[in-house]
Amino acid sequence: MTSASRAPLKTLREEAAGCRACHLWKEATQTVFGEGPQHARIMLVGEQPGDKEDLAGQPFVGPAGQMLDRALDQAGIDREKVYVTNAVKHFKFLPRGKFRLHQKPNTAEIKACRPWYERELASIRPQLVVAMGATAAQSVFGKITPINKNRGRLIDLEDGIKALVTVHPSYLLRLPDAEAKAREYKRFVDDLKIAAELLNKSTHAA
Ligand code: URA
């Protein structure tokens, strides 16, 4: 895995609040650290906080979060039991009048933030990391990792931890036609069911 030292999530969250590893802290309201149980068996990784998350200080509480909650529920996964975080922990945006337009983080920003992901992983030691979207996959695998080629199957990380690649819930929100939306949403839920199955299996084996 990672050579990151193990610290409790509470310590990591406090340290990350003052992170200056890249320039994104300057315009963002706050660091949005991951949230969930210290002993979560699944860690979900998104891209970066959006407008709502930046203001609330919590990951996935806006429209993408609602989409994620619905899909987790349909896959049989209790969000309270999973750890939810982002590859990049500050909101990157372009101010446009009264709006803040989401900007995709670049490789330097993903790399600057990766130590936090590594430390979250070392702290929690989940059984499974779910990378949602290209930015998350780049952080989880430490390199650009195409979604379609890798999605929907368990991939070995180090130390017996598995990874699962899927799309980002915002991708589903952006799809213009209802049919594609329904189809892609179902695929997303099917991917999450792989995570649910892994959990059920290990519960029965325990
Ligand atoms: N999109 C993300 O990737 N993360 C969030 O927390 C919200 C939207």
Quick: pLDDT tens for 172-194. 999 999 999 999 999 999 999 99
34 lines ligand 1 (CB under 6 A): no
**Rounded to an integer, what distance in angstroms lies between the CA atom of residue 152 and that of residue 166?**
6
DSSP run (H or E) holding 165: strand 162-166
Residue 1: band (very low, low, confident or very high) from pLDDT cuts 50, 70, 90 = very low
CA of 199 to the centre of ligand 1 (A): 24
Q: Which atom of ligand 1 is nearest to the CA of 47?
A: 3
Burial class (CB in 10 A: 0-12, 13-18, 19+), 85: buried
CATH class in words for 9-205: alpha beta
How far is CA 49 from its chain centroid?
10
Percent of the chain residues topping a pLDDT of 70: 96
CB of 86 sitting under 6 A from ligand 1: yes
Question: How far, in Å, from the CA of 24 to the mean position of ligand 1?
Answer: 15
C-alpha 25 – ligand 1 centre gap (Å): 16
Ligand 1 atom having least distance to the Cα of 62: 7
How confident is the model over 5-61, as pLDDT tens digits? 799 999 999 999 999 999 999 999 999 999 999 999 999 999 999 999 999 999 999
Q: Does any ligand 1 atom lie closer than 6 A to the CB of residue 36?
A: no
Candidates 82, 25, 83, 81; CA nearest to 54 is: 25
Q: pLDDT by residue (tens digit) across 144-181? A: 999 999 998 999 999 999 999 999 999 999 999 999 99
State the closest ligand 1 atom to the C-alpha of 64, by its place in the atom list counted from 1. 8
Distance from the alpha carbon of residue 132 to the mean position of ligand 1, in angstroms: 10
Report whether residue 60 contacts ligand 1, using a CB cutoff of 6 Å. Answer: yes
- Rounded to two decimals, what is the model's pTM? 0.96
Quote the Cα angle for 39-145-2, to 5°.
40
Domain boundaries along the sequence of the chain: 9-205
